[in-house]
Amino acid sequence: MQTLHALETPALILDADRMQRNIARLREHLRPLGVSLRAHLKTAKSIEVARAMMDSKHGSATVSTLKEADEFAAAGVRDMLYAVSITPNKLAHVSRLRQQGVDLTVVLDSVEAAQALSDYCIASGEKISVLIEIDSDGHRSGVRPGDALIVEIAKALQHCELRGVMTHAGASYGSFTDEAKVAMAEQERAAAVSSAQMLRGAGFAAPVVSVGSTPTALYAKSLAGVTEVRAGVYVFFDLVMAGLNVCAVEDVAISVLATVIGHQREKGWIMVDAGWMAMSRDRGTASQPVDQGYGLVCDAQGRVIPDLIMSGANQEHGILSIRAGSSAALPDLPVGSLVRILPNHACATAAQHDAYVVVNAQSDITAHWPRFRGW
C-alpha cells in the first residue's frame, strides 16, 4: 500500500475515518428532530465525498456555484438548491440544468430579482422553483423576519414556483459557548418558521422551511416547523470550528502534507514547502481566543505537535514556529521530514487543491479523489 512518503508535496490529505465519524455525528443529531439533511457540498466539491454526505446518490444537496451543480448533475444528483441569490445572467444556465432533469431551486431576496425571474419564466415558459432568503441574524443577505417585503417578493413571483423560505445563521461562527450556539439555532429556526407562516397567512404556499449552518445544525434542540437542515463544513471540520468548541482538533479530517525544506535556527523557524497557495490566506482563528496562525502542525501520522503553528506564509514557503508565549520546545524536524497542517477554514484550504489523497487511520493511502473548482 502506498504511503505518504511516496507523495510530492504539498498535498491535500483526507482522513476518511474522521470524515465518516463527522458525517455520522450530524445524522445522529438530526434524526430525532424529524428533519431531512440537505448536505451542502461547497466544502467537498467532490463526487466521492458528496456520495458519503447524501442520503441518496440523487440528493438532496445544496450547492454554492453552478459549476458544482453541473458536476453533481453529471454524477446523477437530481435534487439541488443553489443557495446564492440568483441573477438574470445565470438563468439560462439554471434552465439547462433543469432541462437535464435536475430539480434545481434558486433563492433571492428582492422584488427586483423576483421580477427578473418571473419575466424569465414568462419568456421561457418554465416555472422555476424558488425560496425567499431570510436574514435571521444580520450576518449576510436576506429579508428580515416580519418585513412586509417578504410578501411583496412573493407577489412578484407569480409566474414561478414559490416553495418557501431559507436562511443561514452565519453569525453562529461567533458563538463560543454551547448556550450561545443553542440560542442562535433557535433564533434561526424562529426566523424561518415565522417567515413561512407570514407567507401562508398572505395566501402563498411555503412547504419548504430550510435552515442551516454547521454550529446551529449540531446544537439545535428543536426544529419544529423546519423541513430541512443545510450544513457543509461538518464533513471535515477545521480549526475555526474547533475554536468554537463545535468539534475537537482531533476531528478535523483534512490537512495539508508538507515537507521540511530548511531551517532559520536563530529565528526559531522551520521552513516547509507549503505556503499560502497550499493553505489559503484564511486567518479565521485570528479573532478567536486561540490564534492558530495559518494552521496547526501535526506529525506525518496526524498527531498534533504541541504549540507548533504555521506562523507565517509566503506563496510557496511556510514558516513553522512555536506559538508566542508557549514554553514548548521546537521539535527536531530534519530536512525531508513530513508534517501535516490542519487548516483554519476547510473550504478555503481545500479550494487550493485539485484532489484529495485519502488515507486510513494508519495514514496509508487508500484512494485519490478528484475535486473541482470554478464557477
Strand partners, 3: 364
CA distance 58 to 40: 14
Q: What is the mean pLDDT of the chain?
A: 97
pLDDT bracket for residue 44 (50, 70, 90): very high
pLDDT bracket for residue 2 (50, 70, 90): confident
| Residue 65 DSSP SS3 | coil
Question: Mean per-residue pLDDT for 146-175?
Answer: 97
pLDDT at 221 over 90: yes
| DSSP letter, residue 324 | T
What's the burial of 138, exposed, middle or buried (CB within 10 Å: 0-12/13-18/19+)? Answer: exposed
Residue 106: what pLDDT? 98
Please give the grid coordinates belonging to residue 114. 423576483
pLDDT at 1 over 80: no
What is the percentage of the chain residues whose pLDDT exceeds 70? 100
From-to residues of CATH 3.20.20.10 in the chain: 34-235
- The CATH architecture assigned to 34-235 reads Alpha-Beta Barrel (3.20)
Residue 217 and residue 40 in contact, taking contact as beta carbons nearer than 8 Å:
no
Residue 62 and residue 131 in contact, taking contact as beta carbons nearer than 8 Å:
no
Can the peptide bond before residue 10 be classed as cis, meaning omega within 30 degrees of 0?
yes
Q: How far is CA 183 from CA 32, 178, 186, 192, 243, in A?
A: 19, 9, 5, 14, 18
Strand partners, 269: 264
Residue 199: what pLDDT? 98
CA distance 271 to 94: 46
pLDDT bracket for residue 188 (50, 70, 90): very high
Give the distance from CA 352 to its chain's centroid: 15
Question: Mean per-residue pLDDT for 140-161?
Answer: 97
For residue range 280-337, list pLDDT tens digits in order.
999 999 999 999 999 999 999 999 999 999 999 999 999 999 999 999 999 999 999 9
User: CATH assignment of 4-12+253-370?
Assistant: 2.40.37.20
Can the peptide bond before residue 60 be classed as cis, meaning omega within 30 degrees of 0?
yes
| Rg of the chain over all Cα atoms, to the nearest angstrom | 22
Give the distance from CA 317 to its chain's centroid: 27
Contacts 24+ apart (CB under 8 A), 368-371: 369/14, 369/46, 369/47, 369/48, 369/49, 370/46, 370/47, 371/44, 371/45, 371/46, 371/49
Maximum distance among all Cα pairs of the chain, rounded to whole angstroms: 72
Question: Mean per-residue pLDDT for 194-205?
Answer: 98
Please give the grid coordinates belonging to residue 192. 424561518
Can the peptide bond before residue 334 be classed as cis, meaning omega within 30 degrees of 0?
no
From-to residues of CATH 2.40.37.20 in the chain: 4-12+253-370
For residue range 302-313, list pLDDT tens digits in order.
999 999 999 999
For residue range 48-64, list pLDDT tens digits in order.
999 999 999 998 999 99
| Residue 195 DSSP SS3 | helix
